[in-house]
């Protein structure tokens, strides 16, 4: 199988999407962060010294999705039309699940934007609560689903 990010001389290149059809493309990615009960309780009750952790993580996830092409070398800069972030409290873990949905009408997919958004949102939670718990674990960052484009539908 030939990698699409390499040219005939095996040099890195950004894939040419000029001739691809523009379609509606949607990707959903998620990830979790596990933490101490103390950190969880302080975040849920908005008692952390750095401010509202979950609201800041939502903003960070949106910003992360928007900055994907500056972080991942072969990603195309995209005109995203929607980014939605959901935070699910997981009291039994304890921790949180972040889910990012990225959408556009374009010639290339938005999987990397959704994955980057989820990662940056989770890293923001870690950053804002690390004074309480440095042993937090970010895990299971993954693509949940995608639609649109030549490769069609994917569902985990």
pTM of the model: 0.91
**Which positions are catalytic?**
127
List CB contacts of 80: < 8 A, sequence separation 6 or more.
Answer: 65, 66, 102, 103, 104, 110, 113
Confidence category of residue 2, pLDDT binned at 50, 70, 90 = low
Does residue 47 sit in helix, strand or coil? Answer: coil
> How confident is the model at residue 3, as a pLDDT?
58
List CB contacts of 102: < 8 A, sequence separation 6 or more.
Answer: 26, 27, 28, 29, 65, 80, 82, 83, 110, 113, 114, 117
Residue 29: CATH number of its domain? 3.30.70.640
> How confident is the model at residue 15, as a pLDDT?
75
Least confident residue range of 14-28, 87-101, 123-137: 14-28
51 burial via Cβ count (<10 Å: 0-12, 13-18, 19+): exposed
Does residue 46 sit in helix, strand or coil? Answer: coil
Domain that residue 59 falls in: 23-144
Residue 4 lies in a domain: no
Residue 5 lies in a domain: no
- Output phi, psi for 123, to 5 deg: -65, -35
Only one residue has tokens 């910003």, namely 63
Residue 51 lies in a domain: yes
Number of H helices, E strands in the chain: 4, 5
> How confident is the model at residue 8, as a pLDDT?
73
Residue 152 lies in a domain: no
Position with higher pLDDT, 55 vs 148: 55
Q: Mean of the pLDDT values across residues 47-73?
A: 95
Confidence category of residue 123, pLDDT binned at 50, 70, 90 = very high
Domain count, the chain: 1
Does residue 63 sit in helix, strand or coil? Answer: helix
């Amino acid at each position: 199988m030939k990698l699409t990010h390499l040219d005939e001389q095996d040099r890195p290149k950004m894939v040419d999407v000029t001739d691809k059809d523009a379609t509606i493309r949607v990707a959903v990615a998620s990830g979790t962060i596990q933490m101490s009960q103390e950190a969880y309780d302080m975040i849920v009750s908005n008692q952390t010294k750095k401010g509202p952790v979950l609201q800041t993580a939502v903003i960070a996830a949106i910003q992360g999705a928007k900055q994907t092409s500056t972080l991942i070398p072969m990603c195309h800069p995209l005109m995203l039309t929607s980014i939605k972030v959901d935070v699910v409290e997981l009291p039994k873990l304890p921790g949180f699940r972040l889910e990012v949905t990225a959408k556009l009408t374009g010639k290339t997919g938005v999987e990397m934007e959704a994955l980057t958004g989820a990662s940056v949102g989770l890293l923001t939670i870690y950053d804002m609560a690390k004074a309480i718990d440095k042993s937090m674990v970010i895990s299971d960052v993954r693509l949940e689903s995608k639609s649109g484009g030549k490769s069609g539908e994917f569902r985990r």
